[in-house]
Chain A
């Protein structure tokens, strides 16, 4: 080791068996205790019956209507807020980078978005109830001013629609924060080059900007999906028991309320991890594509 330091140019031909990996042991022990072991407990529990024998009954139990419905609700909520949030966030990122808005607006938007992206959970739910609840500011305003009754028209904040509106509050700012560096990475010279070659601004975005941004756009959208899919506190505080998202079904299982079935609760948690793992595999793949594209 000391010789390697003395002569950094000379690569050691075959290093002696090293014990250096032992230095990472505290990290791996910690990760094992607080991440892997709990995950393994869930996985093992998902495939075991009350007596500890292997079974697929718990997984099969996921396919009962109520539980499928909760997964469907969660996935719908996550897909809608990811797609809408990503589109809105990307448009806003475009507006503050290429749209000719002033630098002060740009930094204001970025700071406000950083706050909003981290402003999930309980206070967010409070704010949306005040704004859109049955006697909230907006429904009352619309009723008194335009005679439009949102709640009579079928709207309610205590539904999936309400959750979508509330989740968007942190989804599109998060998208903005991810996309601003990507838009900054597009060089203005490319636009000039496209113009010199006779292309229009639309051609530039169609053939240069859009293809370059697409992978990071899709990757970020996957991130937003996971962000909404795992959300619990906001749903709990906003809709309570009125909307069953998977995270709330799991929370009820932890509390041991209704139809308590330990095996099923493991399977529920396992199902969430599987769905997120698929979305993250997609994310990693898209990141690789981005890297290759930009090389």
Chain B
């Protein structure tokens, strides 16, 4: 009787698992299959080769001296990926610089403000990517703060927007990390040895938070490299990786399939890294600006 019931449960579990697995795997398998058929009557990696090696002269970006316009005469796959990686790294630096000292300070000195800070860190959940984009553009594309007029200003806007979008994840990650270490004792020890606040944060707190900061950084990276909405509106020249993928989708037949597989593999690598780093803390759920 019990045996029968547990058999029924197992069959049910298997059925659910198979349905869900099929839902997740079939689109990838058909896409992979399709990506191999760029040459009629032949199975091969032509679409991948096109994506990875053929530059598109019509879309090659103008040479600029600005550090944020990358032109190494690379195929757009690399130049856009480089641009988005650069934005992701800038976002990681800015959000670490904002989140770590703030979370530390709130834990140590102003626990009263904790609910207030937490409130603002989850607020981005209420602001979808397109609304944030709209708000940032309306606020900063005209006087008194015309940030979008300059290259640097636009980059600042993009990085600022990304930092806000990932704030719920970065803050939570650092907050959990801080709870696991005795920051009060560490701070007292550092201060009694004569360390100033910058030294405490950089040389004592940050190294102790490396797991939290690293997993937050990887989350940020995963969200930022494929982001489309904000990047596409701030850089209409389709410089970002998301914009590049969209333009390939509009202009090509088999290459989008190859790009799907490539970006799935990229996300997979990042997820494995996040799982490896955050083992035990287990935070791999995130939802960027879709």
A-side residues, CB < 8 A to B, are 5, 8, 18, 20-21, 23-24, 26-28, 30-31, 33-35, 37-39, 41-42, 45, 88, 91-92, 94-96, 98-101, 105, 109-128, 130-131, 136-138, 168-170, 172-174, 177-178, 181, 201, 226-227, 229-234, 236-237, 247, 250-251, 253-254, 265-266, 269, 272-273, 276-277, 280
Contacts and interface: CB of A to CB of B under 8 A. Distances in A.
B34 A137 contact: yes
Given A92-B20, A280-B125, A237 B113 contact: no
Contacts of B124: 35
Contacts of A130: 27, 30-31, 34, 257, 260
A34 B125 contact: no
Contacts of A229: 128
Nearest to B13: A99
Majority-rule SS of A interface residues: helix
Contact of A112 (B24, B129, B160, B263): B24
B126 A277 contact: yes
Given A5-B191, A114-B285, A232-B228, 16 more contacts: A23-B105, A24-B102, A34-B160, A34-B164, A37-B139, A88-B16, A95-B17, A99-B9, A114-B274, A118-B288, A121-B228, A121-B242, A122-B245, A137-B33, A247-B130, A266-B138
B103 to A, nearest CB: 9
24 contacts: A24-B113, A35-B124, A41-B139, A88-B19, A91-B16, A95-B13, A99-B9, A99-B17, A100-B9, A111-B271, A114-B274, A115-B268, A123-B245, A126-B256, A130-B257, A131-B26, A131-B31, A181-B282, A226-B126, A227-B287, A230-B131, A232-B130, A232-B290, A251-B229
A81 B24 CA distance: 15
B290 A121 contact: yes
A273 B123 CA distance: 10
A117 B106 CA distance: 32
Kindly name the residue among A109, A229, A250, A269 whose own CB sees the greatest number of chain B CB atoms within 10 A.
A269
A21 B110 CA distance: 6
A123 B137 contact: no
A174 B137 contact: no
Contacts of B191: 5
Contact of B30 (A5, A114, A119, A137): A137
A34 B110 contact: no
A118 B160 contact: no
Given A122-B249, A269-B134, A92 B287 contact: no
B152 interface: no
A155 B262 CA distance: 29
Kindly name the residue among B161, B245, B272, B285 whose own CB sees the greatest number of chain A CB atoms within 10 A.
B285
B126 A276 contact: yes
B225 to A, nearest CB: 11
A15 to B, nearest CB: 11
B246 A237 contact: yes
A227 B290 contact: yes
Contact of A35 (B127, B223, B267): B127
Contacts of A96: 13, 17
B278 to A, nearest CB: 11
Contact of A99 (B10, B256, B260, B271): B10
B55 interface: no
Contact of B160 (A30, A138, A170, A247): A30
Kindly name the residue among A23, A113, A231 whose own CB sees the greatest number of chain B CB atoms within 10 A.
A23
B170 to A, nearest CB: 12
A88 B5 CA distance: 22
B138 A26 contact: no
